Amino acid sequence: MEFAERVHAVEPAAPFVISNLVSELEEQEDADIVDLSVGQPDVETPQHVIDATKDALDAGHTTYTPSNGLLSLRESIAGYLQDRFDLDYGPENIIATPGGKHALYETLQAIVDPGDEVIVIDPVWSSYEPMVKLAGGEAVHVGTAPYDFQLEPALDDLEAAVSDDTALIMLNSPNNPSGMVFSEAAFEGVRDIAVEYDLPVLSDEIYAELLYGDKEQRSLATYDGMMERTITINGFSKTFSMTGYRLGFMAAPTDHTTQAGKVHSHSVSCASNFVQRAGIEALENTDIDAFTGDMMETFEARRDLLVDLLEERDINVMVPEGAFYVMFEIDSDDDMEYCKDAVREAGVGLVPGQAFNTPGYVRASLVETESRIQEGIDRLEDAGFL
């Protein structure tokens, strides 16, 4: 068979390359791997959400729903965005998607023409550039590694990256993989550039509920002049530990939801009916501060431990302010090989920095217990990886 150029232009998602290797070794050789490669919280989905899912199935909610999602879900999402992020969206501004990932995909399909440029900020989540390419566009990278992964010092570079072909800026804070929360001044800088050059901005706020300590972040669309040019992406995977439900959403001006809605209806028709009902339950009946507070307390203890262990070994590490990842520098020319070898030889799963266009680093997810993280570092050290 022959395949299209656009699929030849992309590789499988790199975090899955490592986690597939981990699964293979676990299944075939019964290997014990400290797996810090996966991007999902090791926290159970709230029981009331699981119960609501079963109830929805028992009640026969197994049919299609309106394409953009049940009105009641979109109303719940609008209420949630208002309460938690001071965002003024109505149900007509929302599309419920199978994961936030599909909201990103639909947005790029709706906005990017062949030859268009999309500005991404490195380290960049591993699916952004492939999604840009699948839409026929080209990613233009702005690096933050020289500035300890802060965006503010890179704003001049961001402005310099704008060209006549720029169709969109993609922003992700709290950031996967760096865990950085971009400053108010960085958000204002993005706003100034977007307004000056009349550009839309996709703000991926999927980790916005997962902040350490008293760190705060204002949604990009609340900044002056941004409501009409921002596509806000969020979802249930991280905030409610519901990765396998595949439920997320976009919130955007109606001209965008109209166009992205076409891509949505012709690709997925709608998100699963009973999953949408579980989503309503999650939004309406979860004590979000308590749920995410417990989760972040656990992640914070692990973060502090891992950062200490790395710093004790003189390893350059950025202390994350949100999400549940830690990036650190490694001494290797090929971080993909380093990560594959780390799984095979040390029994530790990490994701290579090149997956985020930031070679020379690896990402560890804080999804194993403190004693397992300690064990992981010991193994890496014993096997000569640190």
Question: Which parts of this chain interact with ligand PMP (CB under 6 A)?
Answer: 39, 99-101, 125, 172, 176, 204, 206, 235, 237, 243, 248
Structure tokens at 174: 């709290």
Looking up tokens 């307004």 gives 195
99 vs 353, which CB is nearer to ligand PMP?
99
68 vs 172, which CB is nearer to ligand PMP?
172
Closest by CA position to 194, among listed 234, 223, 153, 232: 223
Reported as type and span, the H/E element at residue 211 is: none
Q: Least separation, in Å, of the C-beta of 127 and ligand PMP?
A: 7
Q: Least separation, in Å, of the C-beta of 334 and ligand PMP?
A: 24
DSSP string for residues in 94-109: EEEESSHHHHHHHHHH
Q: Least separation, in Å, of the C-beta of 384 and ligand PMP?
A: 30
DSSP for residue 317 = B
- Give the chain's radius of gyration (CA, Å): 20
Q: Residue 56 contacts by C-beta under 8 Å, 6 or more apart in sequence?
A: 273, 274, 277, 278
Q: Which residue is nearest to ligand PMP (CB)?
A: 99
The whole-angstrom separation of Cα 73 and Cα 295 is 25
Looking up tokens 């009902």 gives 277
44 vs 331, which CB is nearer to ligand PMP?
44
235 vs 376, which CB is nearer to ligand PMP?
235
Q: Least separation, in Å, of the C-beta of 244 and ligand PMP?
A: 9
Q: Least separation, in Å, of the C-beta of 235 and ligand PMP?
A: 4
260 vs 386, which CB is nearer to ligand PMP?
260
